[in-house]
Structure 1
Amino acid sequence: MLVWYCRIVALMSILSALSPRTNERIDRLPDYILFSLGFLLGVPSLGFGVLMLMLAAAVRRRKRVAWWLLMVLGVFVGPLGWLAVSYLFDDLTWADLQPLPPLIVSFLIQAVFVALVVWARKEFYAVFDAANFRLALVVLGVSAALSTLIGITLVAWNDANPHTDLGDQALYTLKAGMAGTGLWWYDTAVEVPHWVDVAVNFLGSVMILAVAWALFQPRRGSVRHEPRDDARLRALLDKFGDQDSLGYFALRRDKAVMWSPTGKAAVAYRPVGGVSLAAGDPIGDVEAWPGAIEAWLAEARQHAWVPAVMGASEEGGKVLSRFGLDAIELGDEAVVEVDEFTLEGRAMRVVRQAYNRVERAGYRTRIRRHADIPRPEMAQLMRRADDWRDGAVERGFSMALGRLGDPADGQCVMVECLDADGVLRALLSFVPWGVKGLSLDLMRRERGTENGLVEFMVIDLINAGPEHGVERVSLNFAMFRSIFERAGRIGAGPFLRLARVVLSVFSRWWQLESLYRANMKYRPVWEPRYLCFPKARDLARIAIAAGRAEGFLAFPTPRFLRRRRKCEPAPEPAPAPEQESEQESEPASEPASEPAPESDPQTDPTTAATPPQQG
C-alpha cells in the first residue's frame, strides 16, 4: 500500500508539473488546502516525482531509511506542516483556519497515514547500504553548477519582462528547478513560457538522479575480501578445486566472501545495483554448501538485495533450488578432454587446415606457468595485453580473474604465440581448474594477424597437456548454445527459429553465435550452466546488474585517461585455519568454466570475445 502511495504521488507530481495551468489552480487555493493536496497528490515538480519514485523503490525493498523518510513526509507535510510554518513565520489567526471541515478531514487523513507507517515499522528491516558521499558531493557541485547555468540562460533568453534583472531570473530558476514555481510565497516578475518551467525543472530532476546514482556507487579501491579470505579460499581450492572450473575466479578481489559456519564452504559474490551477484558454485565441500548459501541469503535479506547466481552448474542449481531459487539455462561451457581430442577425421578438417596454415606461416607457441616467467617479461606481456584489448572498458566478472601477472597466481598458464620473426602476436592465459585442469581466463591477439591463430594456440596447449599434467581444458562459455544448435536442425519450430533470428541480431555486438561456432570446432563436451534467481520479476534487475559487473553497461574511460596497468601486489598471506575433519563427499557434477576461443575462420576474431583482465 505504501509503495503504491509513493508511486501515485510521484505520478501526480510529474503530471501536474507538465500541466501549463497548474500555477493558476494553485493561486486560487488556500494555503492549508495546498499543503493537504501536496500530502495527497504531490508537488508539481519533476524532481519531487523522481524523489517519490526513488522512495517507492526503497519502500519496496523495505529499507529502514525509507521508514524514516515516510515518517518525515507524514509529520511535516500536510496540514500539520502548514500549521507549523504558519505559526513560525506568519501571524496565524482563526480566520486562516476557515472553513474547518476540510482542515479536519486533512488532519484525519494525515493521522491515518502516520498510524499506518508506525504500524508497518517492523516490516522495514533492511539496513542502509554504504554510500559514496564524497562522489555524491562532487556530482552535486558539478551538476548544480551546470543546471543553474543552463537554467538561468534559458530564463534570461525567454523572459518577456524587460524590467527584471539577473537576480530575479536566478531566483526564478531556483524556484522552477527545485519545485513548481507556484508553490513559493516569494514571487518574481519573470514571465517565461511554460516549457521553460518544465525544462528548468527537468534539469533539477536530472541533478537529483545524478546525485542519487553517485551516492550508491562503490568507492574506488574498496577491498571486497581480506587477505585471510584469499588464503582460506586457496586452501579450499587445493582440496575441492576440481569440482568447478569457475572456482578460481572466486579469488577476484572485487568479490566479497560469505563463509559457512564450519568454514568448509564459501560463496563469492559482489553487490551490484541492489543485486547480490554470485558466480559459479560455492567453493568447498558440497556437504557444507547449504551453510554458506544460507549465510549469503541472510545477508541479502538484511540489505534487501536480490540474490542471483550466474553460471551455476547443474549440481549447484539443484542445491540452490532447495533455498527457493529458480533456475533457467543460461548456456553451455565447452570442455575439451585432452586424451580424447584429435585432429584426425573429416569433422576436424577445417580446424586441421587452419592449424596447418598458421604453422606453415612460421608461427610457434610457448607455454609456461606464470611463476616461470621473469618479471620483466610478464610486465611486457601485460602491456601487450592492454594494447590489444578491444575497447576501453575492462570486461569480465563471472569467468575472468580480473588481473594479470599477480605473483599469487603463479600456477596460471600462459600461452604465447610468436611469428616467424619471434615477435609476440597473441596470448592466452588459463587459471587452474583443480590439479589437472585449466580454465580460459584471458584471450588477446593483435589485429590483422593470421586467421586461425587462436585455434593454433588452443590446439598446441591441448597437445602439450600431458607434458603439463593437464587432462581437461575449459574454453569459452557459449550463451544460448542449445537454441543455435536446435534451430539449425530439420523440423525446428517457428518459435525456435525466431529466437535464433533475435539472438543473431544481438550477436553483432556480443558474439553469441560466433562463440558457439568457435567452440564447436573442438568437438567439446558441453556442460550446461544456469542462472539462479528468486522471482521472474527480478530478472530485469539481475540482467542490468550482470551487465554492469561484466563491463557491458559501464561507461568507457578514454584511453588517454587510463593509467598503465601495473602488477597488482599480492595480499599478505594469512595462515589458513586448521581444517576440521571432514567427510569426503563425491564431487558434484563436473562444473564448467568460462571464456574461450573466439574466431571463426570466416571472420576476423578480436579480443572482444573474451573478458579482459583488470589491472
Structure 2
Amino acid sequence: MQQTLERAPLSRRTIARIVQVAGLFTVVTAVVPPRHGRMAEVVEFVPAAGVLSARAATIVVGLLLVYLGAGLRRGKRRAWQVAVGLTAASIVLHLVKSFDYDAAIVAGVLLVMLVATHDRFTAEADQRNRWRALSALAGFAAAGFVLGFVEIGIRVDHLVGSPGVVAWAQEAALGLVGLDGPVEFHRRFAAELVACTTGACGLLAAGVAMILLLRPGSRRPQTDGESEERLRRLLSRYGGNDSLGYFALRADKSLMWSPNHAAVVAYRVVNGVSLAAGDPIGPESAWPEAIGAWLGDATRHGWTPAVLGCGNAAGKAYRKAGLDVVELGDEAIVDTDVFSLDGRPMRGVRQAVNRMRRAGYTCRVVRQSDLSETDLDAAVRAADQFRDGPVERGFSMALSRLGDPRDAGCLLVLCSDAEGKLRGLLQFVPWGGSGLSLDLMRGDRTADNGLTELMVVAVLEAAPGLGVRRVSLNFAVLRSVFARAEELGAGPVLRVWHRLLKAASRRWQIESLYRANAKYLPTWSPRYLCFPTARDLPRIAVAALSAEAFLPTPRLRLRPAHKKRAHEPRSLETRAHETSTHETPAHENSSVGKPSRDKPSRDKRERAGA
C-alpha cells in the first residue's frame, strides 16, 4: 500500500511558531532597559560583567530559538533537545540579567509545553554534526581563552598585586562564561575589556556550535555493486520510459528501493533536502511503494522531499503521495524517423550545416565500446580542454563521467576539422533500446559557427541506421510562457510574466535556449517540480542550485574513468536539462539558467548546452 507524505501535524507547526515568538520575546526583553531599581538589586548579587554577559547571552538564546523553528516543524529530535536546553537556560538568564520574573515565567511555560510534546519530535539527527559542533565549540573557546590570557599579560602592570599565571588562566576561562575570576585591575576599563573579549568568544563558540549541531543532515551516496547491477537490469527493461533514467547511475546518487525491489527512486540529500530526479525506475505499478519508502526515509530524518524534472505519469504518482506539482518547462524530443533538413523552417540549421561541411568539418558517430583506447583518451582530453572554467555542473540530467567502461553503450559524436583535429564532441546516454538522451556537449570556441548544429544533425541523420527512433536534446525552462506570449490574445498577466522572463534571459539566456531547441522542430514533453509546500521552495531551490553546482562548491575535473585510481572520485558534469535551477552546463543538455560556459561559438549560445 502506498505511503503518502506525512505532513507536519498542526500541533507541531504551532509549537514551532510559539517557540519562534518566544525567541523574539526573549530578544526584546534583553534589549529593553530593565525596570527602575531592578539593576541595582541585581548588581548586589551579580557582578556588572556577569549582568552584561547575561543580557548578551539572552539575545543569543532568543535568536537561536527563532532559528530552531524550521527544525521543530520538521520534527527534528535534536532541535527539540536544544530548544529545551535553551529555554531552561533562558529562565536563569532572565533572572540574572534583571530579575525579570515575568519573562522567566513565560520561559517556564514554554519549557513545560516542550517537555509535554516530546513524542512529536522523532526525526533522526546527523551524528557527524555533533563532532563538528564540538570542534567549533572547542576551537572558539580556546581562541577566546588565549586572547583573554594575552590581554591580561599585556596589562600586567595594571594588575592588583602579583597574581600568577594560574590566576590569569582562571580569569580567562571564567570570562568565557561571563564570570569574574581572581584577577583584579587598577582600572575598570581594562577589566571590562578582558571580560568583553572572553565573553564574546564564549558566546560565539556556543552560537556557532549550536548552529552546526542543528545543520540539516546529509547522506553519503549509498550504491554498491549489487544495487548498481540491479538498477542496470531495471534500466534494460524499463529505461525507455524516461529519458533521464540512465542518469540514476551517477556516482553521487543514492537509491531507495521499494520493499520488493521492483522499483527504485534515485536521490541525493543536499542541505536537508532529499532531492530526487526524473521518474522512479521500474513498472508504474511498483512506483507507489518506492515513492513511499523514499518519503518515509525523508520523514525519519526530517528532510524535505523534492523531485526535479519528473514526467507526467510520475508527477501524478508523486501528487497522489502528497506532494504538490508545478510545471518547470518542456523537454525537446526529436523523432528521427521524420527529421529532415528540408523545408523553410529548417533553413537556418541547413545553412549552418552546409557551411561547416564546405569548410571540411566531418562528424564520426560511434558507440563508446567501438572506440579504441587511444581515440577514447583523446576524446576525454579534448572534453576537458574545451571546458571553460573549473566548475563541473550537473546532477539531475547529467552523467558526470566520460570514458567509463560501464558506459560502453553511450554514443559519441566526434567532430573534426579539415585537418583532422578534434573540435567538438557530444555524448548521448541510452534511453531504453531505441532512444538517446544528450548528456555532454563540448566544443572548441575557436571553431567556425555551426559546430553544434553539425554535431546534432549528424546524430539525428545517423540515428535510423543505429536503431534510434527518438533523441532527447534539451530542456526549455518555462517554454509555454514564450510560446503562448506570441499567440494572439495573450492576456496581461502572461505578457508581464513574459517580460520578466525576457529580462532574466539577459543573464541566463532562457529565451534563446528555448528558441535554439525549437529550431530542430521537436516534440515538447513537459517536466515537473514536486515539493511538499510553497514554504519549502526557497530551501529546495538552494539545494537544487547546490546539487547542480551553481552555488560555490568544490567540483572535480572530468577524467577517463578507466585510468582513475580507485580512490579518485569522479567529476560532476552537467546535462542541464532542468529548469530554474539549471544554467546551461559544460556539456549541456538543458536549457536553464546561464549560458553554457563551453559554447563552441557564437551560434552555440542559443543551444542549451553549448
TM-score range, shorter chain: 0.7 to 0.9
- Say if 2:110 is the partner of 1:113: yes
Q: What aligned pairs does 1:91-130 form with structure 2 within 5 A after superposition?
A: 112-130=109-127
When residues 141 and 360 of structure 1 are mapped into structure 2, their CA distance, relative to the original with a 3 A threshold, is farther
Please name the residue that 2:247 is paired with: 249
Please give the secondary structure, in 2, of the residue aligned with 1:532. strand
Please name the residue that 1:4 is paired with: 17
Tell me the alpha carbon deviations over residues 318-337 of structure 1, each in whole angstroms, 9 at most, x when there is no partner. 11111111111100000000
When residues 443 and 356 of structure 1 are mapped into structure 2, their CA distance, relative to the original with a 3 A threshold, is same
When residues 116 and 283 of structure 1 are mapped into structure 2, their CA distance, relative to the original with a 3 A threshold, is same
Please name the residue that 1:533 is paired with: 531
When residues 525 and 564 of structure 1 are mapped into structure 2, their CA distance, relative to the original with a 3 A threshold, is closer
Alpha carbons 1:519, 1:596 under 8 Å: kept: no
Alpha carbons 2:141, 2:202 under 8 Å: kept: no
Residue range with higher mean Cα deviation, 262-271 or 508-517: 508-517
CA-CA distance at 1:215 after TM superposition: 8.2
CA distance, structure 2, for counterparts of residue 203 and residue 511 of structure 1 = 48
CA-CA distance at 1:28 after TM superposition: 5.6
TM-score by length of 1: 0.76
Alpha carbons 1:160, 1:190 under 8 Å: kept: no
CA distance, structure 1, for counterparts of residue 511 and residue 143 of structure 2 = 44
CA-CA distance at 1:115 after TM superposition: 2.7
Tell me the alpha carbon deviations over residues 571-612 of structure 1, each in whole angstroms, 9 at most, x when there is no partner. 99xxxxxxxxxxxxxxxxxxxxx825889999453699549x
TM-score by length of 2: 0.77
Tell me the alpha carbon deviations over residues 270-294 of structure 1, each in whole angstroms, 9 at most, x when there is no partner. 1111211111111001111111111
Please name the residue that 2:604 is paired with: 605
Gaps of 5+ in 1: 84-97, 573-593
Amino acid at match of 2:561: C
Q: What aligned pairs does 1:344-359 form with structure 2 within 5 A after superposition?
A: 344-359=342-357
Amino acid at match of 1:358: M
When residues 272 and 544 of structure 1 are mapped into structure 2, their CA distance, relative to the original with a 3 A threshold, is same
Q: What aligned pairs does 1:372-451 form with structure 2 within 5 A after superposition?
A: 372-451=370-449
Match of 1:227 among 225, 228, 232: 225
CA-CA distance at 1:70 after TM superposition: 3.0
Alpha carbons 1:432, 1:439 under 8 Å: kept: yes
What RMSD over aligned residues (CA atoms) do the two structures have, in Å? Answer: 4.6
Amino acid at match of 1:565: R
When residues 145 and 69 of structure 1 are mapped into structure 2, their CA distance, relative to the original with a 3 A threshold, is closer
Residue range with higher mean Cα deviation, 493-502 or 515-524: 493-502
Tell me the alpha carbon deviations over residues 519-570 of structure 1, each in whole angstroms, 9 at most, x when there is no partner. 111000000011111211111111111111111123366xxxx667352689
Please name the residue that 1:131 is paired with: 128
- Say if 2:77 is the partner of 1:67: no
Match of 1:56 among 46, 69, 75: 69
Tell me the alpha carbon deviations over residues 400-421 of structure 1, each in whole angstroms, 9 at most, x when there is no partner. 0122221111101111111111
Alpha carbons 2:448, 2:601 under 8 Å: kept: no
Please give the secondary structure, in 1, of the residue aligned with 2:109. helix
Q: What aligned pairs does 1:145-294 form with structure 2 within 5 A after superposition?
A: 163=158, 184-185=179-180, 189-190=188-189, 208=207, 212=211, 216=215, 222-294=220-292
- Say if 2:561 is the partner of 1:567: yes
Tell me the alpha carbon deviations over residues 425-474 of structure 1, each in whole angstroms, 9 at most, x when there is no partner. 11111110000000011111122322221111000000000121111000
CA distance, structure 1, for counterparts of residue 436 and residue 29 of structure 2 = 61
| More contact order relative to length (CA 8 Å, sep ≥ 6) | 1
Residue range with higher mean Cα deviation, 302-311 or 13-22: 13-22
When residues 469 and 197 of structure 1 are mapped into structure 2, their CA distance, relative to the original with a 3 A threshold, is farther
Tell me the alpha carbon deviations over residues 356-404 of structure 1, each in whole angstroms, 9 at most, x when there is no partner. 1111111111111122223343233223222322332221111001222
Alpha carbons 1:408, 1:570 under 8 Å: kept: no
Alpha carbons 2:417, 2:423 under 8 Å: kept: yes
Please name the residue that 2:508 is paired with: 510
Please give the secondary structure, in 2, of the residue aligned with 1:277. strand
CA-CA distance at 1:229 after TM superposition: 1.4
CA distance, structure 2, for counterparts of residue 291 and residue 500 of structure 1 = 40
Please name the residue that 2:489 is paired with: 491
Residue range with higher mean Cα deviation, 49-58 or 246-255: 49-58
Match of 2:589 among 589, 595, 600: 595
Alpha carbons 1:366, 1:417 under 8 Å: kept: yes
Alpha carbons 2:309, 2:527 under 8 Å: kept: yes
Amino acid at match of 1:549: A
CA-CA distance at 1:136 after TM superposition: 6.1
Alpha carbons 1:252, 1:402 under 8 Å: kept: yes
Amino acid at match of 2:483: E
Amino acid at match of 2:604: P
Please name the residue that 2:366 is paired with: 368
CA distance, structure 2, for counterparts of residue 207 and residue 56 of structure 1 = 18
CA-CA distance at 1:163 after TM superposition: 5.0
Gaps of 5+ in 2: 1-13, 567-587
Alpha carbons 1:32, 1:82 under 8 Å: kept: no
Alpha carbons 2:368, 2:410 under 8 Å: kept: yes
Q: Percent identity?
A: 42
Alpha carbons 2:125, 2:217 under 8 Å: kept: no
Tell me the alpha carbon deviations over residues 133-162 of structure 1, each in whole angstroms, 9 at most, x when there is no partner. 67667777887789999x99xx99xx9999
Alpha carbons 2:133, 2:208 under 8 Å: kept: no
Please name the residue that 1:78 is paired with: 91
Residue range with higher mean Cα deviation, 469-478 or 123-132: 123-132
Please give the secondary structure, in 1, of the residue aligned with 2:259. coil
Amino acid at match of 1:3: A
CA distance, structure 2, for counterparts of residue 4 and residue 32 of structure 1 = 35
Please name the residue that 1:577 is paired with: none
Amino acid at match of 2:551: L
Please give the secondary structure, in 1, of the residue aligned with 2:355. helix
Tell me the alpha carbon deviations over residues 304-348 of structure 1, each in whole angstroms, 9 at most, x when there is no partner. 111111111111111111111111110000000001111111111
Alpha carbons 1:46, 1:202 under 8 Å: kept: no
When residues 79 and 137 of structure 1 are mapped into structure 2, their CA distance, relative to the original with a 3 A threshold, is closer
Please name the residue that 2:579 is paired with: none
Amino acid at match of 1:60: R
When residues 603 and 502 of structure 1 are mapped into structure 2, their CA distance, relative to the original with a 3 A threshold, is farther
When residues 508 and 556 of structure 1 are mapped into structure 2, their CA distance, relative to the original with a 3 A threshold, is farther
When residues 335 and 48 of structure 1 are mapped into structure 2, their CA distance, relative to the original with a 3 A threshold, is same
